[in-house]
Amino acid sequence: MSAQEPLVFVTGNANKLREVQAILSPTGLAVTNHKLDLPELQGTTQTVSREKARHACAVLNKPVLTEDTSLCFKALNDLPGPYIKWFMEGVGHDGLNRMLAGFEDKSADAVCTFAYCEPGQEPVIFEGRTRGRIVPARGPTDFGWDAVFQPDGFEETYAELRKEVKNTISHRYRALQKVVEFLQSRRA
């Protein structure tokens, strides 16, 4: 990837793209996106991310960045984990809370795993994690499970936090910081 070439983030999710661009903007790293239907794989977040990156890189024949997000409920041995998208579609915010109704432990980890892959290379994995807890939905409900995740040390859910605050503490931010360090070290 050349210094001037924008990073290709493979996503069709406009909210994720905006958040990634906002987080990376101060670094000077330009990001574009390419919507690509990738196989929905099963496994750990790292396995899913690695395979998404391999597939996207092979299809586009250029360096790509892919992302997989997990929401890990401690009471459920880290489920729904990488399947959170399907749980959200199936049961919604209220259903996520009901899943924990019989448990005292409402703690959860928000996990973001990026994979960077160049043609002919193995994907490189970057993971970010934010601890928090699951709460009844508060704030806008238009960005996945943000309305039910309250990060430790805050009284607001991700959905209630100002974007400028969320984008400096989130699991996505933490993972992207590692991506930036990796890419900058390769350009040096």
State yes or no: pLDDT of 2 exceeds 70: no
At 188 the pLDDT is 64
Q: Is residue 2 situated within a structural domain? A: no
In whole angstroms, what separates CA 98 from the centre of its chain? 23
Q: Reduce the DSSP state of residue 182 to 3 states and report it.
A: helix
In a domain, 128, yes or no: yes
Compute the average pLDDT of residues 170-175: 97
CB 45 within 8 A of CB 68: yes
pLDDT exceeds 70 at position 111: yes
- The pLDDT of residue 4: 60
Q: What is the mean pLDDT of residues 98-117?
A: 97
CA distances from 18 to 13, 41, 90 (A): 9, 25, 25
47 in a structural domain: yes
Tens of pLDDT, residue by residue over 152-169, are: 999 999 999 999 999 999
Give the domain CATH number at 142. 3.90.950.10
Asked whether the predicted pLDDT for residue 186 surpasses 90, the reply is: no
Please tell me the chain's helix, strand, coil percentages from 3-state DSSP, rounded to the nearest 5: 40, 25, 35
Structural domain includes residue 169: yes
In a domain, 1, yes or no: no
Q: Which residues of 92-128 are buried (b: 16+ CB within 10 A; e: fewer)?
A: ebeebbebbeeeeebbbbbbbbbbbbeeeeebbbbbb
Global confidence as pTM? 0.91
Domain count, the chain: 1
Averaged pLDDT, 182-186 = 89
152 inside domain: yes
Q: What is the pLDDT of residue 43?
A: 83
CA distance 98 to 32: 38
Q: Which residues span the domain enclosing 40?
A: 7-187
77: left (phi over 0), alpha (psi -120 to 50) or beta: left
pLDDT level of residue 29 (50, 70, 90 thresholds): confident
The sign of the dihedral angle between the CA atoms of 53, 59, 60, 61 is positive
Higher pLDDT among residues 28 and 120, named by residue: 120
Amino acid at 109: D
Average pLDDT, the chain: 93
- Supply φ then ψ for residue 179, to 5 degrees: -60, -50
